Amino acid sequence: MQRRRFLTRLAATAAATAAAALPYGLNRLLAPPVQAAPRTHLRPPGALADDQAFIDACIGCGLCGEVCPPRCIRFHERDGAGWLNTPYINPEEKACILCNKCMQVCPTEALTEIPREDIDMGIAQIDRTACYPWVDHGICGACVSVCPLGEKAINFALWNQYRPVVQTGCVGCGQCVEVCPHPSLPIAIVERSEGTITPHRI
């Protein structure tokens, strides 16, 4: 009799758990996957490098967005399946200031606190055929002056004090993208493997 009661309770618990998880599962199924543009969908600082591991670890609590001082953290909504409710940053709208608050508040391993010099959100890449100083159509330097990591991340070319050159110390926060005054956005955050200069446009 006790065994039957135990099995009944076990079945009821399993059914309740499945019912509780159903809305979350349905949300992901009803949100068709959409290919997000990598340059406008950066993972927050301290994020797990592997996409699937990040998706699995993130519980979509939204705390990282709550504590973000510049409110740069957005969340995937109707753009797709596993990414639903996970955070991202679009530096063209609002860039990360490397304050570490999102990493400190994350209750899972999705975001882990690391020194800002070790953050890897990507690296800035410059299109030298569109950047005003590189095509001799004016002076600027906004990207260099705004960088929170200074010369280790971006500096001027030795022979021209206005032409920006990205250094290996760049962590991809995107502040240079946000501040760039050019309408065609000649600077973007890309994966490190893509390099700091737009290919075939040197």
Three-state DSSP at 59 gives coil
Count of other CB atoms within 10 angstroms of residue 48: 18
CA distance 107 to 119: 19
Eight-state DSSP code of residue 69: T
Sign of CA dihedral 98, 99, 102, 105: positive
Take residue 119 and report the two structure tokens written for it.
Answer: 């953050």
pLDDT at 21: 44
pLDDT at 120: 96
Please tell me the predicted confidence (pLDDT) of residue 130.
Answer: 92
Q: Which residues of 93-130 are buried (b: 16+ CB within 10 A; e: fewer)?
A: ebbbbbebbbbebbeeebbeeeebeebbbbbbbbbbeb
Q: Which residues contact residue 81 at a Cβ distance below 8 angstroms, ignoring those fewer than 6 apart? A: 28, 29, 31, 32, 33
Per-residue tens of pLDDT for the chain, all 202 residues? 565 665 566 555 555 544 444 454 545 555 555 556 778 999 999 999 999 999 999 999 999 999 999 999 999 986 656 788 999 999 999 999 999 999 999 999 999 999 999 999 999 999 999 999 999 888 899 999 999 999 999 999 887 778 999 999 999 999 999 999 888 889 999 999 999 998 864 4
Please name each of the domains of the chain with its CATH number.
Answer: 38-113 (3.30.70.20), 122-194 (3.30.70.20)
Please report the sign of the dihedral spanned by the C-alpha atoms of residue 25, residue 30, residue 33, residue 39.
Answer: negative
